[in-house]
Structure 1
Amino acid sequence: MQGTNDGAALALAVLVVGLVVRQQLRTRPVRRIGSLVTPAVLGVLGVAGIALGVASVVRDHRLATLPVVLLVASLAVAAGFGVARARTIRVWRGPEGEVLRKGSAATTGLWVASVGVHLGLGLWIDDAAGAGVLGAVSLYAYLAIGLGMQNLLVRGRAATL
């Protein structure tokens, strides 16, 4: 039954990432609050996931320092990718004075690279922990930090227009 749960979790993660990337490629207004709603929801899911991941590790082992350091490094990498992606998003004033945004092919490429890096770090975290799924379940926190950083920077650029 665990394999079924893993498959469902993977399918949900792919769906969430796909929806986030799809949104990036659409022309849409830069909103004052709206751009932080998705990262906030992902952040709540991320905190819950990390708590469950820690519980899965400490159930069988003591949580060592290396997986924690790798997790923190992973979240810092997420912020770095958010900064890089923000630079690939076009921000302009529309015909009615509204501020618009739209990601590019480079934005998509950075999303794909970001998720790939997280998957690699997640495997390393889980290997270093020796048990549990801390690396795998930190995806939502990773997305929240990366998307939140990206959206804050895009909002900052929009404010200067």
Structure 2
Amino acid sequence: MNGEAAFVVLVVVVGLVIRQQLRTRPVRRIGSLIVPGVLGVAGIALGVLSVVKDHSLTALPVILLVVSLAVAAGFGAVRARTVRVWRDPQGVVLRKGTAATTGLWLASVGVHLGLGLWIDHVAGAGVLGTVSLYAYLAIGLGTQNLLVRSRAAAL
């Protein structure tokens, strides 16, 4: 996939994730981890491994990649606090993202793109930072969903 097509796919994926966040939906035990799992597998299989097999990496890009994923977890933890969680009259626990959730998603993706450019610059691999967005989304969304589930369990 060329760079332009990869960018379009990434924009669509990020858009779908953000759109899903703004819908009122039940808090699920397992379902909230399926999308992060799929994104994580895609990030590793389609992205990171495809770059690593063709380029040897030094320690710095690997460290930056780990930092990027830690930043994703941090954003996920902050976003989890912006998601409304409540019990409806039938006793179903519901969730819905807010404008702050959307803003934090956009900021998070922007931060990743900046880190991705830095990773690509020091790696000389050209796309490691870009393709790691799937793993970044998986870590951030997984962290957010686990913390929202924790809040829901407390209701």
Q: Same fold (TM over 0.5)?
A: yes
Structure 1 residue 52 displacement after superposition: 1.0
2:4 aligns with 7
**Unmatched tracts of structure 1, length 5 or more:** none
Q: Which runs of 4+ in 1 moved over 2 A?
A: 55-58
Deviates more, 1:125-134 or 1:25-34: 125-134
Find 1:52's aligned residue among 26, 37, 50: 50
Unaligned runs of 5+ in 2: none
The residue aligned with 1:83 is 77
Distance, in Å, in 1 between the alignment partners of 2:81 and 2:124 is 38
**Are residue 29 (structure 1) and residue 26 (structure 2) matched?**
yes
Query: Which string of whole-angstrom CA distances, capped at 9 and with x for unpartnered residues, describes residues 74-104 of structure 1?
Result: 0000000000000000000011110000000
Pair 1:18-2:15 in alignment: yes
Report the residue type matching 2:50 in the other structure: L
Equivalent residues, number: 154
* Residues in 1 aligned to 2:108 and 2:116: alpha-carbon distance in whole angstroms: 12
When the two chains are superposed, the root-mean-square deviation of aligned CA atoms in Å is 1.0
SS across alignment from 2:55: helix
**Structure 1 counterpart of 2:40, from 40, 43, 49:** 43
How far did 1:51 drift?
Answer: 0.7
**Secondary structure, counterpart of 2:48 in structure 1:** helix
Q: After TM superposition, give the deviation of residue 131 of structure 1 in Å.
A: 2.7
Question: Which of 136, 150, 156 lines up with 2:130 in the alignment?
Answer: 136
TM-score by length of 1: 0.93
Could you tell me the TM-score, scaled by structure 2's length?
0.96
How far apart are residue 42 of structure 1 and its match? 0.3
Identity %: 74
